[in-house]
A = this chain, B = another copy of it.
């Protein structure tokens, strides 16, 4: 275990240690039954006092995440009685690995995107039937027939020039004027976030994110040892007004301005300008994650922050995985100046470049009018779905449940009463073949446990209604359980 302590942080050190271990346990990086280091060893490894180490463990025990076994040591608590002796025995010979420190404090994304459930409300993706499968397949076959060496050659590390040109043209629709040479092709937006992080974020560097935010972005920044400062979101997006009063200067601000993940909110035009102004006067890099801006249901969202950027403060990320082809894994990063050279270097070191075939597969779709037409249809289809889900929730959800009606994107952020733990609820939902993302995964700091993110776009049309109705029943059960508890006589 590698526990990055930030001694300049407001957060007490014991709490930093406790959060780090809790994250690992919740992410399954520390498996049930794993032995933890002794208090003495923990204190030694992290360079803190015995008292501090002990405090962290006590808090974890209270949270029910670990247990102390007299004479044996401290272990990650096992849920239920499930015996795993076979596997445990096998793991014994790998025991030495437990002492190997790593740089992965959490991996929540992995945990919640297994994709095994029949009714998937968990990952933000679109039902394959709503994507232009046939056309893309036809195009890919065409390319394979025309370019006999496409599987036998490496592409350029920064991405193929044909796609960079097409992307440069496509981004003009969003009023982003960027040259093909200022574009880097990535394996989806996720790799884009990761590449900026590995280039510019290191131990103790301050990264500002919205809270709640995209869970796999938290995983990345945590993995770089960043000190994450989280700024709450209201109906107009990130509370940009709070930025000037931050104690430590941020190096990077990560934002999802349009149809924020997970809340679905929209950063207002005024706040976009304020955010950029703040970055400019403080020499901060903004990572603008723009996965969804084309998928609006009412009016167009304000233009991307990148469209206002004059001095290369914004590294703009856009993916085609969400709206066009999850399978191609194609995203772009756009920026200028020396930062561009640095992200090209980082991309090259990462994997020598994105596969050429996948880059060319999307070319003709982007080039023709089809992309525009497709997005238009997608807007209509997804708006219908959103309306349907909101209607169902309005009818079937118990009155204690609230939600934000998203104006675009694919997610609804649902809040339950404070006594409901959506992690426990997920356990129950899975029995009915339903998955969702527990809100706790979306908090860079102390998680709120009573929210969940529901993606309404991925489920098979036939299963949408059943899924929501069943989920509403589960809501009711969980809300009433507490009501019953509180109705119990006190003695």
B125 A151 Cβ-Cβ under 8 A? no
Segment of A140-148, A398-406, A436-444, A463-471 in the binding face: A140-148
How many chain-A residues does the 8 Å CB contact rule pick out? 95
A219, CB-defined interface residue at 8 Å: yes
Identical chains in the assembly? 2
**Most chain B C-beta atoms within 10 Å of own C-beta, residue among A97, A155, A353:** A97
Q: Nearest chain B CB to A35's CB is how many angstroms away?
A: 11
A43, CB-defined interface residue at 8 Å: no
Q: How far is the CA of A455 from the CA of B5 in the complex (A)?
A: 46
B148 A327 Cβ-Cβ under 8 A? no
**Most chain B C-beta atoms within 10 Å of own C-beta, residue among A157, A186, A311, A338:** A338
B348 A28 Cβ-Cβ under 8 A? no
Q: Nearest chain B CB to A314's CB is how many angstroms away?
A: 12
Which A125-145 residues sit within 8 Å CB-CB of chain B?
Answer: 125, 128, 131, 133-134, 136-137, 140-141, 144-145
Q: How far is the CA of A248 from the CA of B101 in the complex (A)?
A: 16
A100 B326 Cβ-Cβ under 8 A? no
**Most chain B C-beta atoms within 10 Å of own C-beta, residue among A29, A34, A283, A346:** A346
- Chain B residues near A338: list those with CB within 8 A: 31, 34, 91, 94, 97-98
B103 A348 Cβ-Cβ under 8 A? no
A357, CB-defined interface residue at 8 Å: yes
B104 A346 Cβ-Cβ under 8 A? yes
- Chain B residues near A353: list those with CB within 8 A: 329
A396, CB-defined interface residue at 8 Å: no
A356, CB-defined interface residue at 8 Å: yes
Q: Nearest chain B CB to A363's CB is how many angstroms away?
A: 13
Q: Nearest chain B CB to A216's CB is how many angstroms away?
A: 6
Q: How far is the CA of A153 from the CA of B356 in the complex (A)?
A: 19
B102 A200 Cβ-Cβ under 8 A? yes
Q: How far is the CA of A283 from the CA of B346 in the complex (A)?
A: 30
A326 B148 Cβ-Cβ under 8 A? no
Q: Nearest chain B CB to A336's CB is how many angstroms away?
A: 6
Q: Nearest chain B CB to A10's CB is how many angstroms away?
A: 23
Partner of A148 from B123, B137, B329, B341 at Cβ < 8 Å: B137
Q: How far is the CA of A34 from the CA of B337 in the complex (A)?
A: 12
A154 touching B216 in the complex, CB below 8 Å, given contacts A223-B198, A285-B100 = no
- Chain B residues near A462: list those with CB within 8 A: none
B187 A156 Cβ-Cβ under 8 A? no
A29 B151 Cβ-Cβ under 8 A? no
- Chain B residues near A202: list those with CB within 8 A: 2, 101, 103, 225
Q: How far is the CA of A123 from the CA of B157 in the complex (A)?
A: 13
Segment of A105-113, A267-275, A424-432 in the binding face: A105-113
A211, CB-defined interface residue at 8 Å: no
A370, CB-defined interface residue at 8 Å: no
Partner of A341 from B29, B113, B154 at Cβ < 8 Å: B29
Chain B: CB-nearest residue to A131 = B152
Q: How far is the CA of A34 from the CA of B358 in the complex (A)?
A: 36
A-B contact pairs, 28 of them (CB 8 A): A94-B336, A94-B339, A97-B337, A98-B338, A99-B283, A101-B200, A102-B200, A104-B346, A109-B352, A125-B154, A137-B148, A137-B150, A141-B141, A151-B327, A151-B328, A151-B361, A186-B351, A187-B187, A187-B351, A188-B352, A190-B350, A220-B349, A223-B349, A327-B357, A329-B352, A329-B354, A350-B350, A357-B357
8 more A-B residue pairs beyond the given contacts A110-B344, A134-B148, A202-B225, with a C-beta to C-beta distance below 8 A: A34-B338, A97-B337, A125-B154, A136-B151, A188-B352, A327-B357, A329-B353, A357-B357
Chain A residues with CB under 8 Å of chain B are 2, 27-29, 31, 34, 91, 93-94, 96-104, 107, 109-110, 113, 115, 123, 125, 128, 131, 133-134, 136-137, 140-141, 144-145, 148-157, 186-188, 190-191, 194, 198-203, 216, 219-220, 223, 225, 251, 283, 285, 310-312, 321, 325-329, 336-339, 341-342, 344-346, 348-358, 361
List the 10 shortest-distance A-B pairs measured between CB atoms, nearest first.
A94-B337, A107-B345, A128-B152, A151-B327, A191-B351, A187-B351, A110-B348, A131-B152, A94-B312, A128-B149
